[in-house]
Every structure is written in C-alpha cells, then in structure tokens.
Structure 1
C-alpha cells in the first residue's frame, strides 16, 4: 500500500480556486476510498502547461482495486454534489478512477473506469480516459496531487503505438464527433481543427501536445496556406463554448478541407 503525500493548496495550477477544489477532491476521495486509495494526478491541458479558463481540469485517481459497493456509492454522491458548489471550476472537472493494474500499461486498454464526464453529475463506467495518450501525459507531465511519483505507476508509452493509434482514429474523427457535437457551432469547428492538429502532431512526433501547442506547431510547420485557418482557431478560443455562436462564414468548409489534408499527410500521400 502506498502512503499518499499531503496535498498543499495553491501549488499546481494558475488558479487558486481550482487548486482549492483539487485539495478538497483529494481529501474527500481519500476518505471514501480508504486504504484502496493510491494517488491522485492532474493530466490533460493543465499538465501540459496550457490550461486556461476555457479548459476543463482532467484528473486520474489511482486505486488498488476498481471502486465498488460503498466506495462507488460514496464517489457517486461526491460527484453529484461537486457541481452544485459555487465558483467556476466546480463544473469543470473531468476524470477517472483507474485501478493500478489496468493503468500500468497498454494491456489495460479497454478496461472501463469509473468516469466523471465534464459538466455531468452522474458517474459512468467508460474507457474515455483509458488511452495511450492519457498514459503518455501522466508519465511525462502528470501533476502529482497525492501519492507516489506517477512514473512508479505508469510505464513508458511506445511512441510507435501512439502513432499507430492516431493513424487508425483519424479517418473516423468527424463521424465520431458528429455523435456528440453540433456542427452548427463555432466551438465544434475549433475543436475539430485543434484535434486534427493534435493527432497529426502525434503521428509526426510520437508525443502528445495540448490543443494550443499542437495548433502553434501546425501553424509553424505545415503549408503556410493553412495559417489563416489555424490563426482563426487560436484567436477564437476566447469565444468559449456558446450554444448560440455559429461558425464564422466559410470556416466549416475550411475545416473539412483541413481534415482531408491532415488525413493525406498521415497516410503519407
């Protein structure tokens, strides 16, 4: 059994409110999980140094065994209550409760973890966070809130496996996006372009970048003809998610053309 470190508030993100919420989360989760608690870590955009007020905060809590029974019920009550708290960040947490065995390496892919979806109050068992890119971020940049160094829990990720995974996912990205996002929103156009950049970055480098980092990389690296689109996506991030905000004229057409371009690069055409 690991002995978690004590979490010190106002240390890990640029936002004191978020740090305080993370401190509360760790304290309450440890109380619920007891000696099955291993550690808690921030991954995603904040771990990659790109988190801002338009980001959610991605976390992974590691356990000795998957939460069941009273522990699962306690976590469900906690995540039903957190979004009712005051402040911006209470509705911006997203993450999973991963047992240490299935988190260790790629052999655990496909194992559903208890998952808190951004903006939702009901936990589900899902593979959303059980990916190679989550493991890569945790291993290389994860922020330790409590517990052992994350390198003790997650093995190094094979860069060729990362590349292969992105090549497999790229052709179906827009179809997958249509299953949960509206294509009459400016947010969706920006999300799609940024995600294509992230996936191509991984194909090219065998590493993982934030959305902003991948967009900046693409703007500096790809054909200059795409710079206006990439600049628009970077600058429009400040518009945030607005269900009444339509895409800029011509921006969806540019997104579709960019998608085809990225897919051709990934294929080596």
Structure 2
C-alpha cells in the first residue's frame, strides 16, 4: 500500500507501469511528495508525484507521456483528476543547483503536460529528502540531497512579498476557497521562514494559530474548520473574512523585513 486509498494505489501503479514502459532505460524511479509524504493527506488533497529520469523526456517518449496524461483525467473516480507532478531529470533534481530547470509537469485536473518549474523548488526537495515515499526505484535520499535550512528561510524571505501578487494571477478572490487558500499559503511560508522546514497545510495553520499573534486566532480557526468545505466555486467568503485575510497578509509580509 502506498496511500490510505486503494483506488489511488491502483492508479499510481498504473501510472508507474505506463511511465516505465514509455521511458524505458531512462526511467529511474517514482516518488510521492506533498501532503501524502507529510502524512496529512485526505480526499481534499492533490496526490503529488515525482518521476525521476536519467534525461528529460523528449521526442517519442514525451509524445507518449502527453497522450497518457491526456487520457488519465478522463477516467472515472476521484483521483484521476487530482494527480499532480513532474518528470524530473536526476541531475537537476539532486540539489538547489538545479533550480530553474523546467520539468514536464502535470497540473491536477489538466489534460496537458507543460514545461514548468512548478515542482522544481526547495520545498519539493526538502519533502522528498525527509519524507518522500518511494513507489519504485532507489530510495529517494539516493537522488536528492538535504536542503540547507537557511536556504529554505532565505527563499521564503524572498517569496513572502510576492505571495499576494502571485495569487492574483490565477485565483478568484470572490470565492471562499481562495480566502482559505490565501491564509494557508501565508502560514506555510511563515512556518518555513521560522523553522527551515516544511509543514502540511493543516500543520502550518495549527502552528500559526499556536505561535502567531493571538489576534489572528479566530481567522486561523475559521480557515481550519472551513477547509472541509473544499472547492465550491459559487461559495462566497464569509462576511468580513476576506478583509481580515488581507490584513493577515500584510501582517505576514512584515516578517520579510
């Protein structure tokens, strides 16, 4: 068993088998990161994977992977639309020296693979090295070096002032889901800034509720309790919660200084 969900395990086994067949000798291994690796996954979580290769997919292999990921979200069930991950070459996966290298990326729910740096982060490497789940291939610690905690903190100092601008490029702020996601994202950044480690979404929220100014406790409690509501596009934020979230964002960004 890879996960607590039998249907997800079957999907992952199929993905790995198909990827191994397509990639041939360039296939190295398959791994889970994200909330499943952190032990905090539930039915609201994406299933984040990394498939390691000797070289980045190209030519026939890339075309076949594109066909595979075009088909997977059309399958029945919950998880085919919630797989998310990248095909990463072992050279750029190894350490922070590989940051900036685009990997072939599958966004959850999307039928298109894109070349993107979405998974190519220090966070991904930290989770993989400390908590990654090996689905196939050698232990992930053979492929990914430990990440310097101060490098983690410095990346969050750099990222913190840009969080809201980044969210505005894709998120709809008239949705309750976005209000919750915004608060959660700031909590995750602050957790790493303080500790040099990575927490799950819920773990970061609970840490923030315990350690940040108690003024924010009602907001953080609301986000924790409402997370179970999931993605409902027509659901507006609770009255006043969006304004409070903006104030929390300004408070969080002050830590970058």
User: For the aligned residues, what is the CA RMSD?
Assistant: 0.7
Distance 1:224 1:174 in 2: 22
C-alpha deviation, 1:88, in angstroms = 0.3
Q: For residue 111 of structure 1, give the secondary structure of its aligned residue in structure 2.
A: coil
The equivalent position to 1:225 in structure 2, one of 178, 196, 215, is 215
Which residue number in structure 1 is paired with residue 165 of structure 2? 175
C-alpha deviation, 1:180, in angstroms = 0.6
Note if contact 1:132-1:157 (Cα within 8 Å) is conserved in structure 2: yes
C-alpha deviation, 1:217, in angstroms = 0.6
C-alpha deviation, 1:242, in angstroms = 1.0
Which residue number in structure 2 is paired with residue 8 of structure 1? none
C-alpha deviation, 1:12, in angstroms = 1.8
Note if contact 1:36-1:63 (Cα within 8 Å) is conserved in structure 2: yes
Which residue number in structure 1 is paired with residue 12 of structure 2? 22
1:236 paired with 2:226, answer yes
TM-score (norm 2): 0.99
Note if contact 1:200-1:266 (Cα within 8 Å) is conserved in structure 2: no
Note if contact 2:38-2:131 (Cα within 8 Å) is conserved in structure 1: yes
Question: Is there any run of 5+ residues in structure 2 with no aligned partner, and where?
Answer: none
Question: Is there any run of 5+ residues in structure 1 with no aligned partner, and where?
Answer: 1-10
Distance 1:215 1:13 in 2: 23
C-alpha deviation, 1:266, in angstroms = 3.5
Q: For residue 192 of structure 1, give the secondary structure of its aligned residue in structure 2.
A: helix
Note if contact 2:158-2:256 (Cα within 8 Å) is conserved in structure 1: no
TM-score (norm 1): 0.94
Distance 1:14 1:191 in 2: 24
Q: 1:39-84: CA deviations, max 9, x gaps?
A: 0000001111111111111000000000001110110000000001
Distance 1:221 1:18 in 2: 35
